[in-house]
Structure 1
Amino acid sequence: MPFLSGSLSFERFRVEKFDSASFDQEHLDLMHQHAAGKVETDSAENVHTGFLGGAHLFDQDFDLEKNVINDAVHFGIRIDTNQIPAAIKNAWLQMELAGLGRDNPSGVPTKTQRKEAKEAVEQRCEVEAATGKYRKFQPFSLLWDHGYEMLYFGGSAGTASGHCADLLERIFEIELRHVSAGTIAQAWAIEADRYAEMDEVVPAAFIAGPSHGSVAWANEHSQAPDFLGNEFLLWLWWTLETQTDTITIADDTEVTVMLSKTLSLECPVGESGKETITAESPVKLPEAMQAIQHGKLPRKTGMILVRDGQQFDLTLQAESFGISGAKIILDEDTEFDADDRIEAVRTLCDTVDGLFHTFCDRRTGADWHKDLSAIQNWLAPVPQRAVQAA
């Protein structure tokens, strides 16, 4: 599965209230007891989640040597659904109604006949669902890192991740908190004793005009400042264009950065729409610069990161800090086993977070106004820049 080979795509969840000192056979036995396929899904509207051993769609084998690697457990979760597609149910209903209404003088089914048709379709759905022909299996790869108290979910946050989180919370009596740009920023602020400053942060005005108090894509159910992910990508873009392509992070290691391959931008007030640019270096194209000069903010970008000789190619989603299409680039002579692979996942996340922490330090520091002024000048049209320089 992807965490042990191939490219990586995942969202992160913070694991809370897991009291065990390490993963042991007891935890794997729990997974085996609730393995995918042990509970049949015969009803018409049913969703069942179960654990997978991680090797393939029907893997129900769980073993310490196989699943516990480098203080992390690698496994899968399968979501089984047995639902009749809405288009098929509607077709059956129309066929029933046509048959029942055929002998009516008006040719239109009566209220009683409509009710009869609905009941007939419900019965047919139960019969068809029992055959299993509409059953679908959707597997997801997961990595639960004990030392980092982190769950890596091999997919994007949404209904599927919710089903998987419910299963893990129920079976292991833990709590999972989705990691986003805002929660990373808040956690950093607590560690750095900058929480008061972080609490006062509002969306910055990078171009002339009225400032906006929020962004159109903000999660109304979250108080975390996820908009900082968008500002981080813009700050990173400005830094690479005007200062340096190498950024020192908190542990004093240097990260070389290049924005590449894809760039998605959107108007934060929802007025001028979205734009996606695909190129070897999209930020070098004039349409990319024009987009941010008109107030759009980056929502997703491809990037290449090099740290301590290790290279990662990935796409980063600004608000969720979800990573997709990540590739670990190695020399041909480098030996790389499962332990190294999991360590590389940690390094990748530490590197992305380290860059973001550097931005958070600037964003909540006394010199942020200097950065903001410089970015505003960088984004200003050429004649305006000349006036400001004069």
Structure 2
Amino acid sequence: MPFLRGSLGFERFSVEGFDANTFDDDHIEIMTQHAAGRIQTEALENVHVGFLGGDHLFDQDFDLCKNVIQNAVHFGVRIDTNQIPAAIRAAWLQMELAGIAKDNESGVPTKSQRKEAKEAVEQRCEVEAATGKYKKMQQFPLLWDLDHQLLYFGGSVGTASGLCMDLLERSFGVELSHVGAGSLAEAWAIEAERYAELDDLTPGCFIPKPHQGPHAWANEHSSAPDFLGNEFLMWLWWTLQNNTDTIALPDESEVTVMLTKTLALECPDGESGKDNFNSESPVQLPEAMQAIRCGKLPRKTGMTIVRDGRQFDLVLQAERFGISGAKIHLDDDEEFEDEDRIDAIRLMSETVDLMFYTFCDLRSSKAWSKTQGEISNWIATDRGSSQAAA
């Protein structure tokens, strides 16, 4: 069970429309009815998506005791495809055309012969697909946290996540929305009654040359302020270098943070490219400081966080707020059951969000202009030192 063992990587989705407070036998029956492999097909180009019990690629067994832990449902989704690779299709077509054209005086196939060759290839594709040798199966772990109305998807956002979300929505009548920096900020602003202030925000700039318009990587189909994720990582970098490694959180707890291992920076104008740094402390590298002096912004960073006596290592993607390579540290003699693992995942997820809410509170306040100026002065210093100009 991937969410219960080893390192973690996931994107999160909010779940709306699930009225039950707990998972029961009726829900288990729904998963059983939509289990992976129940529908077998040899049709070409078909895609089938079904639920997995969570143990392995062919696990079709679902049970409350097995799948429900701490009021969170641990299971999986399998995507079956039966598609002939494009390179093989192209090779078959060339072979057909060569065989047809050799009897022509010109050596070039006619229009009707090309059509004949394409039809022959389609027939061959159907025959080959029926053998099953081009069938592929992909599995993705899922953790549905009923208490927090969150779904953890063990993969990146893309075609696979879309297919998985569609299956869940159809099966359970719920609505799923990706949780990124922008949507997190909007949810916080509504709760904090600061939506008007947040809605007025535009991408900030930390160097003399102003950035114009949306970031080059911005999602053109979303109006959510995902740029706050990049600014959050910049603020966190500055805070840890200049002020303190302990961040006060909105729930009056604290988290100790250190940026480690990896750092990815990119030009928001799409002009000067990307920089990737791998080091025990990449934010200390002079090359990293030079990159942000050129106007690049953080898009991903590794970090170690400690809260409530629990330490986590993880890599956070700025705009999507996706987490990868996450590790839960355990004491040598610690007994760690599945229930503890679920609680730890919740704690890690909550801690990252609370850190971001602390930033959102500052970013949407009048105090931000002073902080932004201090960050700009820090970036501009020749040594990239920890002393910001007054």
| Category of TM-score, reference length = shorter chain | over 0.9
Q: 1:79 and 2:96 equivalent?
A: no
CA deviation after TM superposition for structure 1 residue 41, in Å: 2.9
Corresponding residue for residue 8 of structure 2: 8
Corresponding residue for residue 49 of structure 2: 49
Q: 1:241 and 2:232 equivalent?
A: no
State percent identity of aligned pairs. Answer: 68
Q: 1:227 and 2:232 equivalent?
A: no
Q: 1:109 and 2:109 equivalent?
A: yes
Corresponding residue for residue 363 of structure 2: 363
Q: 1:169 and 2:190 equivalent?
A: no
Contact 1:41–1:81 under 8 Å retained in 2:
no
CA deviation after TM superposition for structure 1 residue 382, in Å: 2.8
Matches for 1:324-363 after TM superposition, within 5 Å: 324-363=324-363
- In 2, the alpha carbon distance for the partners of 1:383 and 1:67 equals 54
Distance 1:111 1:321, change over 3 A: same
The CA RMSD measured in Å over matched residues stands at: 1.4
Contact 1:41–1:47 under 8 Å retained in 2:
no
CA deviation after TM superposition for structure 1 residue 239, in Å: 0.1
Contact 2:314–2:327 under 8 Å retained in 1:
yes
SS of 2:362's equivalent in the other structure is helix
- In 2, the alpha carbon distance for the partners of 1:152 and 1:143 equals 5
Distance 1:384 1:250, change over 3 A: closer
- In 1, the alpha carbon distance for the partners of 2:162 and 2:30 equals 20
Q: Look up the equivalent residue of 1:254 and give its one-letter code.
A: E
Contact 1:293–1:381 under 8 Å retained in 2:
no
- In 1, the alpha carbon distance for the partners of 2:23 and 2:138 equals 26
CA deviation after TM superposition for structure 1 residue 213, in Å: 2.5
- In 2, the alpha carbon distance for the partners of 1:368 and 1:247 equals 17
Contact 2:79–2:138 under 8 Å retained in 1:
yes
Matches for 1:83-162 after TM superposition, within 5 Å: 83-162=83-162
CA deviation after TM superposition for structure 1 residue 108, in Å: 0.5
Matches for 1:236-275 after TM superposition, within 5 Å: 236-275=236-275
Contact 2:266–2:299 under 8 Å retained in 1:
yes
SS of 2:123's equivalent in the other structure is helix
- In 1, the alpha carbon distance for the partners of 2:383 and 2:309 equals 42
SS of 1:59's equivalent in the other structure is coil
- In 2, the alpha carbon distance for the partners of 1:261 and 1:8 equals 16
Q: Deviations over 1:241-281 (max 9, x none)?
A: 00000101011111010000000000001010011001111
Q: Deviations over 1:55-91 (max 9, x none)?
A: 0000000001000110011000000010000000000
Corresponding residue for residue 204 of structure 2: 204
Q: Deviations over 1:217-241 (max 9, x none)?
A: 0000101000100000000000000
SS of 1:151's equivalent in the other structure is strand
CA deviation after TM superposition for structure 1 residue 139, in Å: 0.3
Distance 1:246 1:384, change over 3 A: closer
Corresponding residue for residue 318 of structure 2: 318
CA deviation after TM superposition for structure 1 residue 384, in Å: 12
- In 1, the alpha carbon distance for the partners of 2:384 and 2:138 equals 54
**Structure 1 residue runs of 4 or more that deviate by more than 6 Å after TM superposition:** none
- In 2, the alpha carbon distance for the partners of 1:355 and 1:197 equals 19
Corresponding residue for residue 296 of structure 1: 296
Corresponding residue for residue 36 of structure 1: 36
CA deviation after TM superposition for structure 1 residue 30, in Å: 0.8
CA deviation after TM superposition for structure 1 residue 371, in Å: 0.4
- In 1, the alpha carbon distance for the partners of 2:309 and 2:139 equals 34
Q: Look up the equivalent residue of 2:24 and give its one-letter code.
A: D
Q: Look up the equivalent residue of 1:98 and give its one-letter code.
A: A
SS of 1:313's equivalent in the other structure is strand
CA deviation after TM superposition for structure 1 residue 157, in Å: 0.6
CA deviation after TM superposition for structure 1 residue 22, in Å: 1.1
TM-score of the aligned structures, taking structure 2 as reference length: 0.98
- In 1, the alpha carbon distance for the partners of 2:366 and 2:113 equals 73
TM-score of the aligned structures, taking structure 1 as reference length: 0.98
- In 2, the alpha carbon distance for the partners of 1:215 and 1:363 equals 18
CA deviation after TM superposition for structure 1 residue 389, in Å: 5.3
Contact 1:205–1:212 under 8 Å retained in 2:
no
Structure 1 stretches lacking a partner, 5+ long: none
SS of 1:382's equivalent in the other structure is coil
CA deviation after TM superposition for structure 1 residue 383, in Å: 9.6
- In 2, the alpha carbon distance for the partners of 1:348 and 1:41 equals 41
Contact 1:10–1:156 under 8 Å retained in 2:
yes
- In 1, the alpha carbon distance for the partners of 2:90 and 2:148 equals 49
Q: Look up the equivalent residue of 1:205 and give its one-letter code.
A: C
Contact 1:84–1:134 under 8 Å retained in 2:
yes
Distance 1:143 1:389, change over 3 A: closer
